[in-house]
Structure formats: structure tokens, C-alpha cells
Chains A and B, each alone.
Chain A
């Protein structure tokens, strides 16, 4: 079974600076999806960015980018120019492409604090 590990329970960063959240995963599959979700105090999970494993190019969405290292099974999220609204729990997630196993497997989350 796949597992996702986020080794940083909490991170903090000064407003306008850059922060990187770490994620590693374990799988024997060659093709899959990886995601970063944000969960603010409102509790709603919001998709931040996603990466298809077969794509070598790292995904980017405005201030959010990933560093996807397939061989190392690493998938970190970089947030540039941090804003107060970025404060939230961030979850890394894996999704298999195998029939019957296409659920999201989440890491334990990283709580990100933005200091003004």
C-alpha cells in the first residue's frame, strides 16, 4: 500500500518570504498523481497544485510550485511571496491509477503559520 509522509508537523515563515514544505511517498507504481491540498480554518480542502508522475516538468500555479523528484519519491511544495492568507494546514496526497485503488492517500499534514 502507498504511504505519504510529511516530516514537518509545523512550519512558519515571514510574510513575503519563501517557504518549502516537504513530502515523501512510497509506491511501487510507475504512474500516479500527486497533490498538495490546503485546509484553512474553514475546514474545506482546497486543491493547490497537482503533478502527474509521467510529466518530468514541475507543476507551477502562480506563487506555488513543486519540486518533483520521482526517483527519490519526493514532492515538495514551494510557496513564494508568502501571504497571510496562505496560513493553513497543507496536505500532500497520492492517487493511484490502478482500478479500485483510486482514492487519495494523504500525509499527516504541515501546519503553516505566516508571521506579519
Chain B
């Protein structure tokens, strides 16, 4: 059974550009969450999607957005990139969102975004 797949693995962008990251959950999993990992702030929750609906959102500016497709694949978008957006972006999938059942989250290997 394939794990959580995040693409691309590495990305370099220029300030002011926008970027789209992709996450394909484990087959059958319908919930996807996104986290940002930086040396200074650690791991911070971005948002959670289930059945194409955003269920939960972290404290990030509106430049950070996401969506989920009918096949449960999710994308997150960051517009008007800033140097501080450089981070490892991790995606986690689970069978159900945590509010609907006790379920384990499985993480992907992340996308390393560098903003120059």
C-alpha cells in the first residue's frame, strides 16, 4: 500500500511568486492535514480537509490556502511568497478526521520550499 506522496520534494521560488504543493493521501484516506515546519517556529498546523471541505484552519495569513479534490488529493497554495515562507511543508492523511473517529495520521516526506 503506497504511503502519503508529496510533490515536489524540493522547490525554489523567488519572493513575490506563488507556489502550489500537492499531497496524495494513502488510498482510502479521506482526511488531509498540512503542517509547516521551520527551525524557528517548529511544526505548526495549517489546515485540515475532509470530503473537499476545510474543517479546521491554523493561524496563518490568507496567502496560505488549500483545497481538496473528490479523489482526496489535496493542494496547498502560497501566494506572494516571502522569505519567511521557506520551510518544510508536511502533509498527513488519515482515514477519517479526528472528530469523527479515532484514527492515526500518516505523514509524507514533505516538500522543502526555499524562497530566495
Known: A42-B109, A44-B107. A107 touches B88 (CB 8 A): no
Number of interface residues of B (CB under 8 A): 24
> Cα distance A15–B88 when bound, in Å?
30
Report the bound CA distance from A47 to B105 in whole Å: 8
Q: What residues on A are CB-neighbors of B35 within 8 Å? A: 104
> Contact at B109–A103, with CB atoms within 8 Å?
no
Report the Cα distance A107→B41, complex, angstroms. 10
Contacts of B99 in A (CB 8 A): 99-100, 102
B25 interfacial by beta-carbon distance below 8 Å:
no
Residues of B within 8 A of A108 (CB): 42
B64 at the interface (CB under 8 A from A): no
Instruction: Find chain B residues with CB under 8 A from A97 CB.
Output: 98
Q: Is the CB of B58 within 8 A of A103?
A: yes
CB contact under 8 A between A100 and B42, given known A44-B107, A44-B108, A47-B104: no
Q: How far is the CA of A102 from the CA of B50 in the complex (A)?
A: 13
Residue from B97, B109, B112 with most neighbouring chain A CB atoms (10 Å):
B109
* Chain B 79-95 interface residues, beta-carbon cutoff 8 Å to A: 88, 90, 92
B20 within 8 Å of A by Cβ? no
Minimum CB–CB distance for A114 against chain B, Å: 22
Q: Are A100 and B104 in contact (CB under 8 A)?
A: no
Q: How far is the CB of A97 from chain B (nearest CB, A)?
A: 8
Residues of A within 8 A of B90 (CB): 43, 45
Of the A-B pairs whose beta carbons lie under 8 Å apart in the complex, a sample of 16, sorted by A's number, is A37-B107, A44-B107, A45-B92, A45-B107, A47-B106, A50-B104, A100-B56, A102-B48, A102-B56, A103-B48, A104-B33, A104-B35, A104-B92, A104-B105, A106-B44, A108-B42
